[in-house]
A and B are shown apart, each in its own frame.
Chain A
Amino acid sequence: GQNIDQPTEMTATEGAIVQINCTYQTSGFNGLFWYQQHAGEAPTFLSYNVLDGLEEKGRFSSFLSRSKGYSYLLLKELQMKDSASYLCAVMDSNYQLIWGAGTKLIIKP
């Protein structure tokens, strides 16, 4: 079966750095996405990785290791507005997205 694992919940402090991990087992791989979802709102696109390595985009970075089936999302200089759920999704061999359950990130002052 296909599986995406990420921690259920994480807590971090405003101004700090947090890393949200995602491991996956899917039938084929055509890229990995990270989305942010605030409570009661739609998911919004954050990043995409298809090759190994780090992609940096402002305060957010995403890393991929295809051989390990592993990715992480790194958030720097945390702000209160970063409190949200972060969803990891992998595009499989049929170009369908398989989603993790999401990691709820709580930012404390």
Chain B
Amino acid sequence: ETGVTQSPTHLIKTRGQQVTLRCSSQSGHNTVSWYQQALGQGPQFIFQYYREEENGRGNFPPRFSGLQFPNYSSELNVNALELDDSALYLCASSLVDREFGANVLTFGAGSRLTVL
């Protein structure tokens, strides 16, 4: 298992620009979720993809969009960046945990975005 990997780890953008963040899911996981985590806060759900289709969305505007590819890797795109978009963006893939019978998320280390 290679885990969930995200790129880039850090990036700086200016207001109005666009950004693409990438995620490679853990082997065997077919569901990927994206979260925004501001400093000192819990993760906020952006959206989830299952088999390349959006399968749930949180309270984020349409300028947050995503893609999932046949190999289950994923992208998060944010257009028209605002200062408040500065946060840690976490990607998580999921699989039903055999011990608990629950859909347990495995997180990547995140991409820290700073918008100036």
For chain B, residues 88 to 110, give those with C-beta under 8 angstroms from any C-beta of chain A: 90, 97, 100-110
* Residues in B whose Cβ lies below 8 Å from that of A48: 97, 100, 102, 104
Task: Given A31-B102, A99-B43, A100-B42, check contact A42 B56 (CB 8 Å).
Answer: no
Instruction: Say yes or no: is B58 at the interface (Cβ < 8 Å to chain A).
Output: yes
User: Residue B58 contacts which of A4, A96, A100 (CB distance < 8 angstroms)?
Assistant: A96
In the complex, chain A residues 87-101 whose Cβ is within 8 Å of any chain B Cβ? 87, 89, 91, 94-101
CB-defined contacts of A4 to chain B, threshold 8 Å: 42
Interface SS of chain B: strand
Contacts of B56 in A (CB 8 A): 94-96
**Chain A 65-109 per-residue mask, 1 if CB under 8 angstroms from chain B, else 0:** 000000000000000000000010101001111111110000000
Complex Cα spacing A101 to B43, Å: 8
Q: Taking the nearest CB of chain B, how far is it from the CB of A71, in angstroms?
A: 14
How many inter-chain residue pairs (CB < 8 Å) link A and B?
A: 55
In the complex, what distance in Å separates the CA atom of A99 from the CA atom of B101? 20
In this complex, the interface size class of chain B, counting residues with CB under 8 Å from chain A, is: 20 to 34
A102 closest partner in B (C-beta): B42
The docked-state distance in angstroms from the alpha carbon of A89 to that of B48 is: 16
Chain A CB count within 10 A is highest, among B40, B43, B58, B107, for B43
Tell me whether A11 is interfacial, beta carbon within 8 Å.
no
- A28 CB, min distance to chain B CBs, angstroms: 14
B10: shortest Cβ distance to chain A, in Å?
Answer: 11
Q: Are B90 and A42 in contact (CB under 8 A)?
A: yes
Q: Which residue of A lies closest to B47 (CB)?
A: A96
B2 on the A face (CB < 8 A): no
- The complex places the Cα of A44 from the Cα of B104 at a distance, in Å, of 10
Contact of A42 among B42, B100, B104, B108 (CB under 8 A): B108
Query: In chain A, what residue has the closest Cβ to B90?
Result: A42
Beyond A45-B97, A96-B58, A99-B43, list 13 extra A-B contacts (CB 8 Å). Answer: A33-B102, A42-B90, A42-B108, A42-B110, A50-B101, A87-B43, A91-B103, A95-B103, A96-B48, A96-B56, A97-B105, A98-B45, A101-B42
